[in-house]
Amino acid sequence: MIVFDNVAKRYPGGYTALAGVSFEIRHGELVVLSGHSGAGKSTLLKLIPAIERPTAGTVLINGQDVSRLPRRAVPYLRRNLGLMLQESKLLTDRSVFENVMLPLVITGHPPGDAAKRVAAALERVGLGGRGREMPLGLSGGEQQRVAIARAIVNRPSILIADEPTAHLDPAYADEIAALFKSFNSAGVTVLVSTHDANLFAANKPRRLVLAKGLLTEGA
């Protein structure tokens, strides 16, 4: 369901972030992507929702070649994806509820059902009844849980998260990892990057390891 076939990504300016990366992630897997800073993790994740396009090679998502997807088809691709990337910050001038509602507003979801889904998503991440609060009034761990609720409110089949525990205390990080695990147990395919080797260790996840743009483990 996620297939990378000999994927390379060279940024304008000539920097090669990924070189000939190939792997396959099947439906329902939980996969941890690790590697040092600058190894290409964010780049790899951004190729999946077509935020970046590969310079060479093929990226297939649910059988669809997203490396050659026309721009107008990208919103449809993203409907099936839950995204928690570096650039997906919470809007600090909107309530928790409005933040989680955002993806449903963008896809033109009927408002009544959207409100129910938002409530369910907040409940799911342990923030039931906290919708009226503002993001900056929450702890770092709670803010990340809002971001998770926003990522899953569309009920995506694939959840992708880039360093979701980067700035969190270990106890909060474990809570976030447990949430990802629970979505995975409910059938969601999860791909999460981290440089914390201990995260998910108890679940013995499949690991993909990147080093300087090359996949050195897990293919």
Q: Looking at beta carbons only, is 72 or 187 nearer to ligand ADP?
A: 187
The distance of closest approach from Cβ of residue 180 to ligand ADP in the complex, given in angstroms and rounded to an integer, is 11
How open is the CA angle 151-156-162, to the nearest 5 degrees? 45
The span from the CA of 69 to the CA of 76, in Å, is 10
The span from the CA of 153 to the CA of 117, in Å, is 6
Distance between start and end Cα atoms, the chain? 14
The distance of closest approach from Cβ of residue 94 to ligand ADP in the complex, given in angstroms and rounded to an integer, is 18
Q: Looking at beta carbons only, is 11 or 76 nearer to ligand ADP?
A: 11
Q: Looking at beta carbons only, is 72 or 142 nearer to ligand ADP?
A: 142
Q: Looking at beta carbons only, is 11 or 136 nearer to ligand ADP?
A: 11
- Phi-psi map region of 213: left, alpha, beta (phi>0 left; psi -120 to 50 alpha): left
The distance of closest approach from Cβ of residue 124 to ligand ADP in the complex, given in angstroms and rounded to an integer, is 4
Proportion of the chain in helix, strand, coil states, percent, rounded to 5: 35, 25, 40
The distance of closest approach from Cβ of residue 75 to ligand ADP in the complex, given in angstroms and rounded to an integer, is 19
The distance of closest approach from Cβ of residue 106 to ligand ADP in the complex, given in angstroms and rounded to an integer, is 15
Summarize as ranges the residues that interact with ligand ADP (CB under 6 A).
11, 13, 15, 17, 35, 37-43, 117, 120-121, 124, 152-153, 155, 183, 186-188
For 134-193, the DSSP string reads: -GGGS-HHHHHHHHHHHHHTT--SEEEEESTTTTS-HHHHHHHHHHHHHHHHTT-EEEEE
Q: Looking at beta carbons only, is 13 or 70 nearer to ligand ADP?
A: 13
Do the strands 2-10 and 56-61 form a parallel or antiparallel pair, or are they unpaired? antiparallel
Q: Looking at beta carbons only, is 121 or 177 nearer to ligand ADP?
A: 121
Do the strands 16-25 and 2-10 form a parallel or antiparallel pair, or are they unpaired? antiparallel
DSSP state of 30: E
The distance of closest approach from Cβ of residue 23 to ligand ADP in the complex, given in angstroms and rounded to an integer, is 16
